[in-house]
Amino acid sequence: MDIEKMRKWLEITNDYRESNFWSNVLKQKHPDEFFREAVCNPKFDIYLNENYYLIIFEIPGVNQEDLSLNLITNSQLKINGRIKPVLPVEMEMQRERIYGDFERIIELPEPTQAHLMQTQLYNGLLHISFPRKNSY
């Protein structure tokens, strides 16, 4: 995005408005931020075999200590955490990855109990497995 073109456009639009609406908006947020994804919403897949369900979340850059899983009800799982930048923001030249807090609540394919769930974090993927009802 060409910032100079954006500034010129703002000057032109402000000539036709009584207030500096766009200037006030852009004081709060840089133009590039309007096009960034605002919320980190980890993607997941669900698999099953004869005995188990397996849920795999994509959470690259999340450390175990920055991750929390809670079974809200016996059929709702909440995952939340924080993705931290690898290097200081001052070094950033371009950013496509999203950093910050995230939270996602998903419906489980069938009810389960927290003590039956097993988790493993490996290579940016969170594996959550639990037995199917007919197998316990």
- The predicted pLDDT at position 109 comes to 96
Q: What is the pTM of this model?
A: 0.68
Whether residue 55 has pLDDT greater than 90: yes
Which residue in the block uniquely carries the two structure tokens 């929390």? 68
> What CA–CA distances, in Å, run from 127 to 31, 46, 76?
37, 10, 16
Q: Tell how far CA 43 is from the center of its chain.
A: 8
Helix axes 21-28, 3-15, angle to 10 degrees: 140
> What CA–CA distances, in Å, run from 9 to 6, 22, 124, 125?
5, 10, 42, 44
Comparing C-alpha atoms, which of 103, 44, 32 is closest to residue 69?
103
Query: What digits encode the pLDDT tens for the residues 73-115?
Result: 999 999 999 988 889 988 988 888 888 899 999 999 999 999 9
Distant-in-sequence, close-in-space partners of 100: CB < 8 Å, separation ≥ 6 = 40, 82, 83
Residues across the chain: 136
Span of 10-24, 48-62, 84-98 with lowest mean pLDDT: 10-24
